[in-house]
Chain A
Amino acid sequence: MLTYITRRVLASLLILLGASFIVYMLVAYSGDPLAEIKSSNSPSKEARIAQRTEALHLDVPPALRYFIWLGGAVKCVVPFVGQCDLGVTLQNQPVTVALSTAIPTTLQLVTTAAVLAITIGISIGIVTALRQYSTLDYGVTFVTFLFFSLPIFWVAVLLKEFGAIKFNTFLYDPYIKNSTILLISLVMGLLWAVLLSGSWKRRGITFVSAFAVTAGVLYFLSVTRWFSEPSLGIVVILVTGVAIAFGSTVLFAGLRNRRALYSSLIMVGLGGVAYYALQPLWDRATLWLVIGLGILAIVAGWLVGRFMGGYDHQQSSRAAMLTSFGVSGLVLLDQFMKNWSRYASDPHIRQRPIATIGAETPGLNGDFWLTGIDKYTHLVLPTIALILISLASYTRYSRASMLEVMGQDYVRTGRAKGLSERVVVTRHAFRNALIPLATIVAIDIGALIGGAVITESVFSFKGMGVLFLNGVRDHSPNPVMGVFLVTGITAVVFNLIADLAYSALDPRVRVKA
């Protein structure tokens, strides 16, 4: 194993060296970084040319210049040699400094998007695989392909227009027209009817009830001006919590496992108690407090499951942990919602909360809640855009993987020995379908670190994508190489992780030592 890893790492180093040389040459020969100065009528033209020539070593031929760069870059990995030196940008900023601000920005942008795209994509993929060639399958295929085919800046323009500008204007007076309610309810009704297939009668009932529930909820939200002063309240939290409890029990243990169900329900109850007990704490909330409470909730779920669960306590623990996590999420969400109107009326926001540019509102000095909401309002649109376009691949992958697994002999065996379909799907098929996905996800995450060039430009995020793009535009190799180094290393590392994860998950695959 160790030899394998060492060999892989050494090979990767060589690959990185080779690729970095090629990339450097390509950027160096892509154009003249002095062009903008040369075309100017600045009186200090000569001085500027001389200065830039010196800063970027333009008097050295590119092939040799690469080694100057490499000499600096090597210092980053060799300890005790000295400072990391990746050269400077055209504005005389060290690339290391530029990277140190670009990397967090990019991570912030892509992390949520990646997690959500993977979760949603895999869920949809699994469901469509279970319903292969149903209306749902065709619909989802069409929609995901459609999203995949949309240029992202196109999506961004539409999202900004409707998700931000129109929505913010709607928030001034959050009253939903009856015709709109009707339309949305119809769509929701149809969606549910397609989702929960069955006989026509069953579909009809699904449609009618979904329609009615949606219409009712929307009407309620509309008349109570919920959108400008949103909150969940204890009732919604408890009801949703019970639903989560049932859901997670079904997923992990099956409803017949009463102990698991009771564990989950206890967690809902505890969540309700915490809802009131924690109120005084919220004013002084910090990120660490919230994370700590979240961990506490999960630990509590595990304990409750452990004590309630009897001999199969793992199932109960899992169900209780998931429920507990869900309920605490709801409690937290409720707190954020309670701070929403305070955020919206801040003089920096002026009742237009959803943002179209940047990562945060400059000058907004708020507590944990306000900055949290601020992050959310800035990230929501780019995240949606990224999810939409990357949904297709995850959906297709997981669908194909699930289909493959469902055709395996052991699934048939499982059914044949009388296991319920739930057990077959969740225990036997689902987990095995996830194995190949694990590698895809690992490799994708490696790629995502490179940032989303277009998304970052359109939404004015100053992440690695923009740093890279500006470097390419200015024909300035240093920032390009800086980003390349980060992405190259992550790609190599995550490839390795993917391979190792694969052999860990699938015992049939072994790595050669």
Chain B
Amino acid sequence: MTTILENTADVPGGKPVLPEKPEETRGLSQGQIVRKRFFGHTGAVVSIFVLAAVLVLSISAIGLGPIPGWWKYGYTETPALMNGGHPTLQLFPFSLGEHPFGQDRVGRDMFAMTLRGAQISLFVMIVVGAIAALVGVLIGASAGFFRGKTEAILMRFTDMVIIIPALIAAAVVAQAAKGPVLLAIFLGLVSWTGMARLVRGDFLSLREREFVDAARLAGASNSRIIFKHILPNAVGVITVNTTLLMSAAILTETALSYVGLGIQAPDTSLGKLISDNQAAFSTRPWLFWWPGLFIVVICLTINFIGDGLRDAFDPRQKKLNVRRVKESPDRPDAQGVPALVNNAPSGPSSALTSGLYQNLDQPADGGEGNEETHR
């Protein structure tokens, strides 16, 4: 055990070691440092490409809205069953065949359905991420910046939304209207709470910093201070949290589909496809494995991108010179803001704290949907 740290300081072969010296001397901007670090994270880079490939494939193959794609079948068409619906995908030599992922029992093309599912799942993911980020940042930023009454009201409101189960929101959507748009919006509207708490914590810490005082002295308006001065400093927390929100959103949608409250037929999503085809697990496994594979791939890549972003935004990254990235020892919570304890308890590194806390309000087991559902 005694050699652990000496060893880990430079374990070979992990990933390319960044050239540290030139960076320091040239004085890179924050963005450049983050980019450099991010692209040094192999997993994240690979993930970006894989995710982009999935996105491009799903959009180009079956088209988007009225624009047709290159694939011959639509996801609602019911061509005749061929060969019992077995998949025709061949790897050596590569050929897609008539129905690469097989057909379901009515003859719908599984390839088209899976890609449509991927489209919808990605759509839900992006909308949930965008709405949750927007609402969460607005509420968190206002609460953290203005403090006092505003903060009290906004945070109590956040606390209230936190304990409203997502399942119920989904049930209302399933009743009120169909279509992924409304579902995604509703899911977004119940998933911003974690983001709001984090951003607030970050803002509480950042607003006490010297640069904010400087801006205020220079006569900057509140909105200018919030958007031009503080927000850029919190962008790491926000980005990282958003990616994790997104991967949780996909799994939440899957869980909702399992209980019949997710995307409704005839539209489809990856979660709906696997839960519909559960019974086919041992008899027609392709109905089950392909959409499952896509979910896992999307989730995994998003998580890795999030991980990469976190590493990139984390100023305490081992790969960079720790001592140079000076941290302000601000401890807003030590100043006695009680509810803060929840949100940003370990002051010094807000980015890392965010790493710790961002998931609290996401389902820890997103496929489960239980936290989301039952908080």
User: Which A residues have a C-beta under 8 Å from some C-beta of B?
Assistant: 4, 8, 11-12, 14-16, 18-19, 22-23, 26-27, 29-31, 130-135, 137-138, 141-142, 145-146, 148-155, 157, 161, 197-198, 250, 386, 389-390, 392-394, 396-397, 400-401, 403-404, 406-407, 420-422, 425, 435-436, 439-440, 443-444, 446-455, 457, 464-465, 468-469, 472-473, 475, 480, 483-484, 487-488, 491-492, 495, 498-499, 502-503, 506, 508-512
Contact = CB atoms under 8 A, between A and B. Distances in A.
Given A151-B251, A152-B368, A421-B2, A469 B163 contact: no
Interface in B275-332: 275, 278, 281-282, 292, 295-296, 299-300, 303-304, 307, 310, 316, 318, 322, 331
A134 B11 contact: yes
Contacts of A484: 163, 165
Given A472-B168, A509-B331, 10 more contacts: A14-B156, A26-B164, A29-B172, A133-B8, A150-B367, A390-B365, A396-B355, A401-B356, A404-B346, A511-B341
Which residue among B43, B175, B367 has the maximum number of chain A CB atoms within 10 Å of its CB?
Answer: B367
A407 B352 CA distance: 12
Contact of A453 (B259, B292, B346): B259
7 shortest interchain CB distances as A-B pairs = A450-B374, A149-B299, A389-B365, A512-B336, A133-B14, A151-B367, A393-B364
B301 to A, nearest CB: 9
A421 B271 CA distance: 47
Nearest to B158: A15
Contacts of B162: 491
B352 A404 contact: yes
A15 B156 contact: yes
Interface in B343-375: 345-346, 348-349, 352-353, 355-357, 359-360, 364-371, 373-375
B115 interface: no
Contacts of A397: 355-356, 359
B197 to A, nearest CB: 11
B168, B261, B370: which has the most chain A beta carbons within 10 Å? B370
Contact of B4 (A407, A421, A435, A444): A421
A151 B258 contact: yes
Interface string B241-257: 00000010001001100
Interface string B1-38: 11111011001011100000000000000000000000
A149 B356 contact: no
Given A26-B171, A450-B374, A487-B375, A503 B341 contact: yes
Nearest to B322: A407
A153 B15 contact: no
A130 B318 CA distance: 12
B341 A499 contact: yes
Count chain A CB atoms within 10 A of each CB in B318, B355, B368, B371 and give the residue with the most.
B368
Given A146-B296, A150-B367, A404-B346, A469 B2 contact: no
B167 interface: yes
Nearest to A113: B365
Given A145-B304, A151-B254, A444 B364 contact: yes
Given A151-B251, A404-B316, A439 B5 contact: no
Contacts of A464: 374
B8 A132 contact: yes
Given A22-B164, A404-B316, A509-B334, A436 B356 contact: yes
Contacts of B1: 250, 421-422, 425
A420 B2 contact: yes
Contact of A149 (B247, B275, B322, B334): B247
Contacts of A407: 316, 318, 322
A473 B258 contact: no
B151 to A, nearest CB: 13
Contacts of B175: 29-31, 475
A438 to B, nearest CB: 10
A141 B43 contact: yes
A1 to B, nearest CB: 11
B338 interface: yes
Interface in B43-86: 43
B159 interface: yes
Given A15-B159, A133-B11, A468-B374, A454 B346 contact: no
B367 A152 contact: yes
Max chain A CB contacts within 10 Å: which of B156, B292, B296, B356?
B356
Contacts of A152: 255, 365, 367-368
Contact of A511 (B43, B159, B296, B338): B338
A429 B36 CA distance: 30
A197 B341 contact: no
Nearest to B10: A133
A30 B346 contact: no
B109 interface: no
B260 interface: yes
Contacts of B331: 508-509
Contacts of A448: 370
A396 B304 CA distance: 12
Nearest to A498: B342
A400 B356 contact: yes
A415 to B, nearest CB: 8
A449 B304 CA distance: 30
Given A19-B160, A390-B365, A401-B356, A454 B259 contact: yes
Nearest to B254: A151
A509 B333 contact: yes
B183 interface: no
A107 to B, nearest CB: 14
A155 B175 CA distance: 29
A263 B150 CA distance: 58
B368 A455 contact: yes
18 contacts: A15-B159, A19-B160, A30-B175, A134-B8, A135-B11, A386-B368, A404-B316, A439-B341, A440-B356, A447-B374, A447-B375, A451-B374, A457-B259, A468-B165, A491-B375, A509-B334, A512-B336, A512-B338
Nearest to A443: B360
A199 to B, nearest CB: 10
A130 B8 contact: yes
B337 interface: yes
Interface in B170-213: 171-172, 174-175
Given A150-B296, A457-B259, A465-B374, A487 B356 contact: no
Contacts of B374: 447, 449-451, 453, 464-465, 468, 483, 487
Given A130-B5, A134-B8, A452-B370, A509 B168 contact: no
B374 to A, nearest CB: 2
B274 interface: yes
B226 interface: no
A454 B316 contact: no
Contact of A16 (B163, B168, B260, B341): B163
B369 to A, nearest CB: 6
A133 B317 CA distance: 11
B275 A153 contact: yes
A235 B156 CA distance: 59
B329 to A, nearest CB: 10
Q: Which of A130, A151, A455 has the most CB of B within 10 A?
A: A151
A400 B316 CA distance: 11
Interface centre among A152, A198, A392, A468 (most CB of B within 10 A): A152
B169 interface: yes
Nearest to B248: A148
B356 A386 contact: no
Contacts of B11: 131-135, 197
A404 B359 CA distance: 17
A329 to B, nearest CB: 24
